[in-house]
Amino acid sequence: MLKRKSIVILFVLVALLLSACSKATKTDVTTPVKQAANEKTDVPASETPAPPDAARKVLTIGIVNAPVTLNQINTQGSSASLAPINLLNDALLDVTDEAEFIPKLAESIETQDKQTYRIKLKEIAKWNDGTPFTTADVAFTLKLALHPKVDTSFQLNFIEGLNDSGKLDEGVADISGLTIIDATTFEIKTKTPIDPLVFNERFGVKVNFLPQHILKDVNPEQVATHDYFQKPTVTIGPYKFANYVQGQYVEVTKNENYYLDVPKIDSIFIKVLPAANLVAQLQTGEIQMNSLPVGLVPITDYDKVTGFDNVNVTSAPASEPAELFFNIEKLSDKKVRQAIAHALNRPQIVEKLLKGQAEIIDGGIPSKHPYFNATIKNYDYDPEKSKQLLKEANWDTNQKLTFLIPVGNKVREQAADILVQNLEAVGLKIDVQKFDFPTLIDKVEKGEHHITIFTRDYYIEPSLYFTTYKGDKPDSVIRYNNPLVDELIQKGEQEIDEAKRHDIYNQLQEVLHEDVPTLAVYSEKRLQVVSKDVLVGKPLNLGTFNNVNQWDIVAK
Amino acid sequence: MGAYLVRRLLIAIPVFWGITVLSFLMMNLAPGNPVDMLINPNIPPEMRELRKELLGLNDPIYVQYIKWLGELLKGELGYSFSTYAPVTQLIAERIGPTLLLASSSLAVGLLIAIPLGIVSAVKQNSKLDYLMTGLSFLGTSIPPFFLGLGLIYIVGIELKWLPTGGMTTLGGDGGIGDVAIHLILPVLVLGITIAGKKVRYVRASMLDVLKQDYLRTARAKGLTEWSVTNRHALRNALIPIIAVIGAEIPLLLGGSIIIEQVFQWPGLGQLTMEAILSRDYPTLMGINLVAACVVLLTNLIIDVLYATADPRIEFN
């Protein structure tokens, strides 16, 4: 009897436990979902009571890295975060995929001496709550973002009154290089004359603004954790914040108060999914387009996606290349580096692995970039020459080269595997090590590598491509030091005459080509896979959302 | 029993503290840190230094730990290094989906495993038994991610019966039905994995009990075979299974990391991966803390249940 009783008790307990579990989980799950649903209906209901049965236009864009932040003054270098941030925020300027600037909040940006820049704002510009956007917001944003205790991704150290790291010094409240003229006009004075390209990219495109009327009382030391940045409901852009589930999706809805043409698509979802599912969901129609550069459809899937009948597939112009970075401390003889360059069968990678959807260049500047030096002749695939160069350099063939490869980009990993075979074919011994990115960077900073591979960002302003080669960085990826290169880099940064700049950067690219501290492997023509339901709009290498208010999709 | 519980909980405190120290140390020993991974020659070193200072990464490890512990005593877990959201909020958002996935999978797993195990034991060495044992091996040996991708391909893409991932339809109502549809595939995958392992336990445990004398007595009393198996044998056979299920619960929380990735399930597993890849220390510590709690608590509950179920075990 006793046993029986205890068994009954046991069952009751188990049942209770299970039911408690399931009840707890049920409430846990439905509450956030319900809240989300409430928010969704609350937001439009309070402003525009759209008829409930009206067909809504919804676009879902696939991205493979999760946006980590919606903070428009601190994007943390996260390319994935730029997609929602650019939908929510307009800057003074935007860019086209041809790297040309188009005005957004700015009516005009003018300079006579390339040192004083006068910016006129559009008078119609207003925040999505209807409050006019004025120079007071500009001043507020700059003062807050450049406060010494505030973490920001703005890189404005060229502005007068800021220190070398582009911040205000402790105790200084005003930016001497900023002059407010009236409600829609202000001036920025730079420390020295600079190429308008630098100003347009770093100030015009990359500075987003904060609403003073919402954030005026914020304590600078607690900006980062302020609620506003978790739910930035008041912004100035074609879309406004609706919902953000970290690691899942960001939902934005059209800003009915937009100061330019009101967008045609009602809601845009930026949906996070693993690379493996991206192609699958394009096929099922769960997402309607991929995104660049963080929602790449692997070029290895080119044949597959062109076979889907519900999408259009196009190729973007060749983008920023995957590059090899040599540790010059360990590979100090340039003949060895040239030998490596000749050993690589890059045409095979492009033809076989990348199905011809890529081009070969040697330098880091993409071929479409205005400052690309087209006269440089690539190192061709010549294993014999490679062996000969190694002999001339008296290379010890027993020495093992450590090749660090970051995991994540499958195509790049496969390309690296081919490179390793090429290098072994000319008699080099390679120790391949694959790591996640933070681990790889740790090893690179300790100088444990001979060679590593990754892809740099796209920059409009050419000087940004060359910072890597400066000699003053003893723990950089390449540990390179060449006085001539340093001199040319400095000249290029200071030169404001466009023609002269071209000369300097052409020469610089030639010197670097001869010296091979880095070598591009392939420059991918990224696939743009867009559902046939999408009438206007496609992902671009640069400035994808510059006309998002004109985008359109078939209503469902 | 009250005294026993108090004692167990008191012992849990130093264990818990030990876990936090160890995980804090291991996390900091892992190569890479949240600031240096943003390697970009165009970000001046001063800015990286400033960021490290703002995040408190320049303090010695023990100072960082003490600060974290201080926050914990106030009931706070700090702010995520990447999203700047409070860690408590991040975990609160994610724990519900994970519990839903884990408990549904466990229930499905057991619903498959128990009947199969019983049949297998009762018909020992029959063809049916071999089939069941074979299936259970199959269930254990198929990697869950492979099964998941296979199901996504067949059910999601080819047949288009079910969504390929996520917890709700984007832009949909996000109601219970919607969640249930999204739950089917991940639960099936985890359930099959669990069932594969459990069938063999149930079978072995049943076989032990079926040899016992009291069952012969029961049969001698003229009870039907059904009643003997399901009322008399099964109940005793399930007692050791409780311990096995208990051990499964923490594994489920961890084991769903891969499944959550494959199905984009917005649970703790996905948060863990993101936090590891971005070296988001406060979030990682928060997750470790939750995991430690779950393990300690389930162990305690299982011990109590076990003692309640089997009078031969005493609290001491």
pLDDT tens digits for range A302-323: 889 999 999 999 999 998 999 9
Q: What is the DSSP letter of B228?
A: I
Q: Cβ contacts (< 8 Å) between B37 and chain A: which residues? A: 437-438, 441
How crowded is the C-beta side of A476, counted as CA atoms within 13 Å? 24
| Window 195-234 of B, Cβ < 8 Å to A | none
Domain end among A229, A259, A277? A229
Task: Give domain limits for chain B.
Answer: 2-73, 93-309
Per the CB < 8 A criterion, the answer to whether B152 and B262 are in contact is yes
Provide the sign of the torsion angle of the four alpha carbons B45, B51, B57, B59, taken in this order. Answer: positive
The predicted model gives A541-551 an average pLDDT of: 92
| pLDDT recorded at residue B316 | 55
Of A154, A155, A161, the closest CA to residue A178 belongs to: A161
Whether residue A483 sits in one domain with residue A458 = yes
Topology of the domain comprising B93-309:
MetI-like fold (1.10.3720)
| pLDDT recorded at residue B4 | 81
At A529, which amino acid appears? V
Do the strands A106-111 and A429-435 form a parallel or antiparallel pair, or are they unpaired? unpaired
Of A6, A11, A25, which to mutate for an interface test with B (greatest number of B Cβ within 10 Å)?
A25
Whether residue A294 sits in one domain with residue A161 = no
Domain end among A204, A229, A254? A229
Q: What is the CATH number of the domain that holds A196?
A: 3.90.76.10
Of A179, A144, A176, the closest CA to residue A161 belongs to: A176
Per the CB < 8 A criterion, the answer to whether A366 and A459 are in contact is no
Q: How many residues does chain A have?
A: 556
| pLDDT recorded at residue A415 | 93
Structural domain includes residue A358? yes
Q: Cβ contacts (< 8 Å) between A157 and chain B: which residues? A: 44
Structural domain includes residue A301? yes
Chain A interface includes B9 (CB < 8 A): no
Whether residue A270 sits in one domain with residue A217 = no
In chain B, where does DSSP find H-type helix? 2-29, 45-55, 61-73, 87-122, 127-141, 144-151, 176-210, 213-220, 225-227, 234-262, 268-277, 281-309
Whether residue A241 sits in one domain with residue A137 = no
Tell me the average pLDDT of chain B.
Answer: 85
User: Encoding tokens for residue B1?
Assistant: 């029993």
Whether residue A491 sits in one domain with residue A448 = yes
Domain carrying residue A340: 318-525
Of A45, A260, A241, A235, the closest CA to residue A131 belongs to: A235
Q: Is the pLDDT of residue B188 over 70?
A: yes
Whether residue A252 sits in one domain with residue A205 = no
CA dist., res. A517 & res. A395, Å (int):
18
Of A207, A208, A270, the closest CA to residue A68 belongs to: A270
Q: What is the CATH number of the domain that holds A543?
A: 3.40.190.10
Domain end among A181, A204, A229? A229
| pLDDT recorded at residue A21 | 38
Do the strands A93-95 and A58-63 form a parallel or antiparallel pair, or are they unpaired? unpaired
Q: At what angle do helices B234-262 and B87-122 cross, to 10 degrees?
A: 130
| pLDDT recorded at residue A25 | 34
Please judge whether B79 and A245 are an interchain contact, meaning their C-beta atoms are less than 8 angstroms apart. Answer: no
Q: Is the pLDDT of residue A9 over 80?
A: no
Provide the sign of the torsion angle of the four alpha carbons A377, A382, A383, A386, taken in this order. Answer: negative
Q: Is the pLDDT of residue A23 over 70?
A: no
The predicted model gives A394-401 an average pLDDT of: 91
The predicted model gives A492-503 an average pLDDT of: 89
Per the CB < 8 A criterion, the answer to whether B93 and A32 are in contact is yes
Minimum-distance CB partner of B163 among A24, A37, A286: A286
**Alpha-carbon separation of residue A243 from A256, A270, A436 (angstroms):** 17, 10, 30
Structural domain includes residue A23? no
Q: Is the pLDDT of residue A18 over 70?
A: no
Write the DSSP string, A95-132: E-TTS-EEESSEEEEEESSSSEEEEEE-TT-B-TTSPB
| pLDDT recorded at residue B38 | 67
| pLDDT recorded at residue A229 | 92
CA dist., res. A269 & res. B170, Å (int):
7
Helix, strand, coil proportions of chain A in percent (round to 5)? Answer: 35, 20, 45
The predicted model gives A109-130 an average pLDDT of: 94
| pLDDT recorded at residue A548 | 95
Structural domain includes residue A488? yes
CA dist., res. B162 & res. B155, Å (int):
6
Tell me the average pLDDT of chain A.
Answer: 87
**Per-residue b/e over B103-119, b at no fewer than 16 CB within 10 Å?**
bbbbbbbbebbbebbbb
3-state secondary structure of A186: strand
CA dist., res. A338 & res. A360, Å (int):
16
Whether residue A509 sits in one domain with residue A381 = yes
Whether residue A241 sits in one domain with residue A349 = no
Q: Could you read off the pLDDT of A446-489 as tens digits, one per residue?
A: 899 999 998 888 888 898 899 889 988 777 889 999 999 999 99
Please judge whether B271 and A56 are an interchain contact, meaning their C-beta atoms are less than 8 angstroms apart. Answer: no
Q: Could you read off the pLDDT of B158-181 as tens digits, one per residue?
A: 888 888 888 888 777 778 888 888
Please judge whether A248 and B51 are an interchain contact, meaning their C-beta atoms are less than 8 angstroms apart. Answer: no
Q: At what angle do helices B281-309 and B268-277 cross, to 10 degrees?
A: 140
Cβ neighbours for A351, distance < 8 A, ≥ 6 positions apart? none
Do the strands A93-95 and A451-455 form a parallel or antiparallel pair, or are they unpaired? unpaired
Structural domain includes residue A72? no
Whether residue A548 sits in one domain with residue A423 = no
pLDDT > 90: what percent of chain A? 65
Q: Could you read off the pLDDT of A359-381 as tens digits, one per residue?
A: 999 999 999 898 999 999 999 99
Q: What is the CATH number of the domain that holds A431?
A: 3.10.105.10
Provide the sign of the torsion angle of the four alpha carbons B69, B70, B71, B75, taken in this order. Answer: positive
Q: Cβ contacts (< 8 Å) between B31 and chain A: which residues? A: 438-439, 442-443
| pLDDT recorded at residue A448 | 92
- ∠ CA B208-B213-B214, nearest 5°, is 100
CA dist., res. B265 & res. A273, Å (int):
10
User: Residue A111: beta bridge partners?
Assistant: A117
Minimum-distance CB partner of A21 among B30, B103, B266: B103
The predicted model gives B108-135 an average pLDDT of: 88
Structural domain includes residue A134? yes
CA-nearest residue of chain B to A252? B171
Chain B interface includes A304 (CB < 8 A): no
Chain B interface includes A165 (CB < 8 A): yes
Of B176, B264, B314, B315, which to mutate for an interface test with A (greatest number of A Cβ within 10 Å)?
B264
Q: Could you read off the pLDDT of B4-48 as tens digits, one per residue?
A: 888 888 888 898 899 999 999 998 888 888 887 766 666 777 777
Q: Cβ contacts (< 8 Å) between A457 and chain B: which residues? A: 40
CA dist., res. A537 & res. A548, Å (int):
7
CA dist., res. B19 & res. A264, Å (int):
54
CA dist., res. A340 & res. A451, Å (int):
10
Structural domain includes residue A148? yes
CA dist., res. B286 & res. A31, Å (int):
22
Structural domain includes residue A219? yes
Q: Is the pLDDT of residue B184 over 60?
A: yes
Q: Is the pLDDT of residue A299 over 60?
A: yes
Confidence of residue A40 (pLDDT cuts 50, 70, 90): very low
CA dist., res. A374 & res. A363, Å (int):
10
Lowest mean pLDDT among A38-47, A146-155, A251-260, B112-121: A38-47
Cβ neighbours for A355, distance < 8 A, ≥ 6 positions apart? A299, A300, A302, A303
Q: What is the DSSP letter of A351?
A: I
Size of interface A-B (CB pairs under 8 A): 191
Lowest mean pLDDT among A39-48, A172-181, B162-171, B244-253: A39-48
Chain B interface includes A245 (CB < 8 A): yes
Q: Could you read off the pLDDT of A218-259 as tens digits, one per residue?
A: 999 888 889 999 999 999 999 999 998 888 899 999 999 999
Q: Could you read off the pLDDT of B236-260 as tens digits, one per residue?
A: 888 788 778 877 777 777 667 888 8
For A185, the enclosing helix (H) or strand (E) is strand A185-189
Q: Could you read off the pLDDT of B258-300 as tens digits, one per residue?
A: 888 888 888 888 888 888 888 889 999 999 888 888 888 888 8
Q: Is the model more confident about A180 or about B275?
A: A180
Q: How many domains does chain A have?
A: 3
In A48-204, where does DSSP find H-type helix? 79-88, 135-145, 196-199
Whether residue A476 sits in one domain with residue A343 = yes
Q: Could you read off the pLDDT of A329-352 as tens digits, one per residue?
A: 999 999 999 999 999 999 999 999
CA dist., res. B250 & res. B242, Å (int):
14
Write the DSSP string, A200-266: IIIIIIT-----HHHHTT--GGGSTT-HHHHS--S--SSEEEEEEETTTEEEEEE-TT-SSSPPS-S
Q: Is the pLDDT of residue A83 over 50?
A: yes
Please judge whether A151 and B235 are an interchain contact, meaning their C-beta atoms are less than 8 angstroms apart. Answer: no
| pLDDT recorded at residue A336 | 95
Whether residue A355 sits in one domain with residue A476 = yes
User: Encoding tokens for residue B211?
Assistant: 């040899």
Minimum-distance CB partner of A271 among B42, B44, B170: B170
Q: Is the pLDDT of residue A90 over 90?
A: yes
Please judge whether A151 and B50 are an interchain contact, meaning their C-beta atoms are less than 8 angstroms apart. Answer: yes
